[in-house]
Structures are given as C-alpha cells and as structure tokens.
Amino acid sequence: MSISADSEQLHEGRPFDPYGAHRDDPYAFLAGIGDAEPVFYAPLLGAWCVTRREDMVAVLRDDRSFSARDHNPRPAVALPEDVSRMFRTWRGVDAVAVGSLDPPEHARVREVLNAGFTPARVRAFEPTIRAIATDHAERAAAAEEFDFISGFAVPYALEVICRRLGIPDDYLDRCRTWSEQRIELMMLRSDTDPELLREHARGLMEFGAFARSLVRERLASPRDDLISELLHEGRAGHTLSADEVSVQVPTLIFAGHMTCAEALGTIFFQQLRSPGGWAEVVDGTVGTRELVEEGLRFDSPLAGMYRTALRDVVVGDVPLAAGSRLLLLYGAAGRDSRAHACPAAFSPGSGSATHLAFGHGIHFCLGAGFARAELEVAIQAVAATMPGLRLAPGLPPRHRPVFPLRALTELRVRHRDAD
C-alpha cells in the first residue's frame, strides 16, 4: 500500500473513543483489533494509534524520524483567540518544556535535569518522602471511610514533588488548581463557556509567573531544593538559565504529582479487589516493588504519548506520510500478548511486569527512579497505618475523561468500622 493510496482509510479509521465508550476499559477494544490491525487511525483523536510494544519502541528510538514537539493532546474544539494566545504563551514566548524538545536541544537540558534525580539524590530524599507519606496516611486514617484519591494519593504526591522542588506549602492548593486548569484546556472536548476558559487561561498565566518568580528567588538565594540545583549545581558545571528552569517547573509539578496519584489509584484498586486483597501486602506475600511494577503494566497512568512523523515512514507495516500524528499507546504495550502470557490478569510478582509506563528512548521519564520510590513508600505507609484497608461498598470507580491520563474519579475505601 502506497502512502497516497492510504488516504482513503485515513477518513474511515476505527471508532476508538477513550473519552466516552472506552473510557473505563480501553483495553477490550484494543485487544479486539490489535492482532489484525496493530496500527489504526482513530478519527476522534486525529492520530494513528500504535498498539504493539515493539512498534512503539522502534518509534521512540528513532528521534530522526519522529518529533516529540507536539506530544501533548490537543483541544478538540477551537479556543477563543485570547484564550489560545494565553495557552500558547503562559510559560513564556517560544518556551518549550523538556518533554517537547527534540535533539540536539533536548540533550543539554535533559542532562542537567537528570542530575536532580540520580539514585543518590533519590536515596537522600527518601526520608522526606517517607515522612510525608506517614503524615498523609495518618490524616486519612482519621475517618473509617474516605476517598483514597482526594484523601491520600493526590495531596501526598503533590506535596512530595513540591517539597523536592522547593515550592512553599502555601502554594500546594494553587499548584493543584493550576494543574487542573491546564488539563481542562489541553483536553477540552466540547464547547465550553468562554469565561470559564478565560479563567483557566488566566490561571495558567499565574502559574507561569509564579514559576518565574520562584526561580528568580532561588537564583539570588539558593536553598536545598531541586530548583536551586538546576540553577547552581549542574553536573560537570552545566546549569540551566533562569528562563530555562522556569519553563520546566510547571511540567515537573504537573507530571510529578498527576501520574503518581493516578498510579496509586490503579495499584490500590486492583490489589484491593484481588482475591488476596490488602492482607497480602500487609503480610509481605505481595512485595511493594512487584505491586508497583504490575500496577504500572496493568494500567499505565499515562496511557499514551503523541509523536509526529518528520518524513514518510512505515510503522507496523503501515505507510504513513510526513506530518502524520501518532499516538503510542503505552497502556496497550503493557497488555501486549507477545510480551505477557496473561496480559489481562493483574498478578504482582508473576515476573511479566514489562511496561512502557515511563516511556523509552531519549524521553524516558527522568524521574522514574523517584516515582518508583514514591509509590513504594506510599504503599508501605498505608500498609503500616491501615492494615485492614478494603474497598467500600458501592459501584466500581470510573475514570475521568482526561485521556491519555488514566485517572479514577474517586476510590472509596474503608479501614475500620465505625465505633
């Protein structure tokens, strides 16, 4: 099939709808067509969906043929002109976060950022993570029933990354609000009150201004935090400019807490509903590292990431023209039957927890080691504080329509009966 002849199929595609019909369980749909059509066009997303692990790895390794510049989801409806302008410039004019950088610019920025998340840095910060986890677990345990997402996962993950960055505690709630406003604009699916959109956009402008102000403070008066390290203590003497650091701060806050909280939601929900339940975690039958890795494989907190073809390419035997937008479905890679004997079974410790939850190649998550430690510590803290944890009665939790994030709306749990 030539690339030009493929244009007719481009307009037909497959009815993949991760915001609606397939929001809670995209995997059944993907498994149904994956073997016959591992690369398919999804008109709703305006992208070619890649479902096989080997094809995703090939794309992620080929940064000459594929660009990460436009890797985020796009709004499905047009934003008002003033909102669009603010959405494009809230970080600064022409400002680009590391996840959207291509070589050669990417390597220089990434090298400095990596130095903030080395194994030694993670180990040094782990006592702080553990103290934060214990504090939030004890707060949550004050009620016999609570929403695990809003009552533990989100505030815990947000405080951890903000503490590492050096964000004052007074700004935690605002950082959460700004992150939600970014989601609302980035993943907008239908016409919305323009004034509400302007409110979101103004919030992002405040987010960018806050980041720049904080960076200026750390440039003048460094402290023991990541922002100061990026400005003053880069590896081999390499540092980033104030403008470069201020661009990265919102991304580190956003990605650093959203994906961790989402992963915790999945991990706890799946283990609590498993035959062995939470007791297997408490007694050590299920190890925390095995539970983390299986949770990341079974339902990746980041279901996918976009790439753009820089030239005519072939992906999974499908010819694609330069400019084609691809969605690499990391979550589907975790369910790839070629890599897993029982891909649809949640089975910590089975030895098959191969996944792409942290990506691959030059854009492999720079905070992967930090995230793993954060997830493990959270599990340990909850196990020590609430050994009787279980799902509360009621309907199964649902997912928010924020694809490619995989975020539960809530997760009601109980850990003791009312007195």
pLDDT of residue 236: 56
118-138 residue pLDDT tens: 999 999 999 999 999 999 999
Q: In sequence order, which residues have a C-beta less than 8 Å from that of residue 71 and are 6 or more positions away? A: 99, 100, 305, 306, 307, 363
Contact 412, 182 (CB under 8 A): no
pLDDT of residue 52: 93
CATH superfamily of 7-414: Cytochrome P450 (1.10.630.10)
Nearest-Å Rg of the Cα atoms of the chain is 21
Measure the CA–CA gap between 272 and 267, rounded to whole angstroms: 8
Q: What phi, psi does 249 have (nearest 5°)? A: -55, -50
Measure the CA–CA gap between 127 and 133, rounded to whole angstroms: 10
pLDDT of residue 7: 44
40-50 residue pLDDT tens: 999 999 999 99
pLDDT of residue 6: 47
Which residues in the chain come in under a pLDDT of 50? 1-2, 4-10, 418-419
Q: What is the value of pTM for the model shown?
A: 0.93
Structural domain spans, the chain: 7-414
Give the burial class of 321: count Cβ atoms within 10 A of its Cβ; 0-12 exposed, 13-18 middle, 19 or more buried.
Answer: middle
Q: What b-and-e string marks burial along 3-20, b requiring 16 or more CB atoms within 10 Å of the CB?
A: eeeeeeeeeebbebbbbe
